[in-house]
Amino acid sequence: MPLDPHLQAMRDQRERDNVPPLYSMSLAAARAADLAAIRAGGGAPEPVREVANLVIPGPGGDLPLRVYRPAAEGPLPALLYFFGGGWVLGTIDTADGVARALANASGALVVVPGYRRAPEHPFPAAVHDCHAALRWVAGHCSEIGADPSRLAVGGDSAGGNLAAAVTLLARGQDPALAGQVLVYPNTDQLADDESTRAADDRFLFNRHSVAWYRRHYLPDPGDAASPLASPLRANSFAGLPPALVITAEYDPLRDQGEAYARRLAEEGVPVELCRYPGMAHGFFTMVGTLDASRAAINQAAAHLRKCFRIRGE
């Protein structure tokens, strides 16, 4: 189907204003523009019962952690949510709208770690920070009111990549993850597929965007084949937690996300795949702007509730 009318209008306005793509800006300018765009698309933040900012030990020093608590009682299931931004942009703040919406819709704690970003801290720093955050939450559930038997991971874009990588690191560890939510994830740094080749519109997230982020994150091109950078290249998916994979029709990452879902299914992992027609990369964070974003948030929340019930709810 055609690009969603709202997204088309946004894209056309960028063209009229000749807005430069993020990959043509300095890092500082791109980071500021990314935060402003996500805040604009997210709308008014949803109220939650409590937001707590913590600092925990991480592999590279202090690691910030933000915990969103919905209006629910008792030890709650918890979602570790990793923000997107190509491992280069993004912060805890850019995940604020999604984290609030997911906490309210799922009834779970949402925990967002402020992992280290490239190029200052290239691969695999972000992966190890995210895994460290999961291990800390698993070991300190009583402090934050979480249920250690009901933990899940998720993220959008690069955050989806990090979530998939963390499931590989956490496989076989106790407690086992209850589920994963991967929203238009990068799964193969070496992908050369139809959706990648077709994405050339400079006023949308495109294949040049993907290449720009990859260069910052993987200064050693040989790292692209690592399963922690390209989870699709893992030898085995056996034992990974049930997954929801969300993709967008007009997204260079569409095909690699869907290939990941197929691999999960082929290896016996319960998986739900949903492609959102007319949508482009980034739609998931536009909670205050797009009906499809709200639908995707609700779909992710329903998947999490199902996973958490499986583990004893």
Task: Output the pLDDT for position 74.
Answer: 86
Task: Output the pLDDT for position 309.
Answer: 86
Point out the catalytic residue in the list 157, 209, 226, 230: 157
The C-alpha atoms of residue 195 and residue 279 are separated, in whole angstroms, by: 13
195 a catalytic residue: no
188 a catalytic residue: no
The C-alpha atoms of residue 233 and residue 225 are separated, in whole angstroms, by: 7
Task: Output the pLDDT for position 42.
Answer: 86
The C-alpha atoms of residue 10 and residue 203 are separated, in whole angstroms, by: 9
pLDDT band at 312 (very low <50, low <70, confident <90, very high): very low
Q: What is the pLDDT of residues 273-303, one digit of tens each?
A: 999 999 999 999 999 899 999 999 999 999 9
209 a catalytic residue: no
The C-alpha atoms of residue 144 and residue 265 are separated, in whole angstroms, by: 34
The yes-or-no verdict on residue 310 having pLDDT over 80 is: no
Indicate yes or no: pTM above 0.75.
yes
- 165 Cβ partners below 8 Å, 6+ apart? 127, 130, 131, 227, 228, 229, 231
The yes-or-no verdict on residue 218 having pLDDT over 80 is: yes
Domain ranges within the chain, ordered by starting residue: 5-310
Average pLDDT, the chain: 96
User: 193 vs 69, 143, 200, 207, 251, CA distance in Å?
Assistant: 40, 45, 13, 11, 12
- 52 Cβ partners below 8 Å, 6+ apart? 66, 67, 69, 144
End-to-end Cα spacing for the chain: 39
The C-alpha atoms of residue 21 and residue 29 are separated, in whole angstroms, by: 11
Q: What is the pLDDT of residues 99-139, one digit of tens each?
A: 999 999 999 999 999 999 999 999 999 999 999 999 999 99
Task: Output the pLDDT for position 43.
Answer: 86
The stretches of the chain forming alpha helices (DSSP H) are: 5-16, 27-42, 96-106, 125-139, 141-144, 158-170, 194-198, 207-217, 254-266, 291-310
Residue that wins the pLDDT comparison between 244 and 74: 244
Point out the catalytic residue in the list 96, 129, 251, 255: 251
Q: What is the pLDDT of residues 61-113, one digit of tens each?
A: 999 999 999 998 889 999 999 999 999 999 999 999 999 999 999 999 999 99
Query: How large is the greatest C-alpha to C-alpha distance in the chain, in angstroms?
Result: 53
The yes-or-no verdict on residue 313 having pLDDT over 50 is: no
Residue that wins the pLDDT comparison between 35 and 16: 16
Task: Output the pLDDT for position 39.
Answer: 85
Percent of the chain at pLDDT > 90 equals 93
| Cβ atoms within 10 Å of 309's Cβ, excluding its own | 12
Point out the catalytic residue in the list 128, 281, 293, 303: 281
Q: What is the pLDDT of residues 168-183, one digit of tens each?
A: 999 999 999 999 999 9
CATH 3.40.50.1820 is the classification of domain 5-310: yes
**3-class SS of residue 237:** coil
The C-alpha atoms of residue 110 and residue 132 are separated, in whole angstroms, by: 16
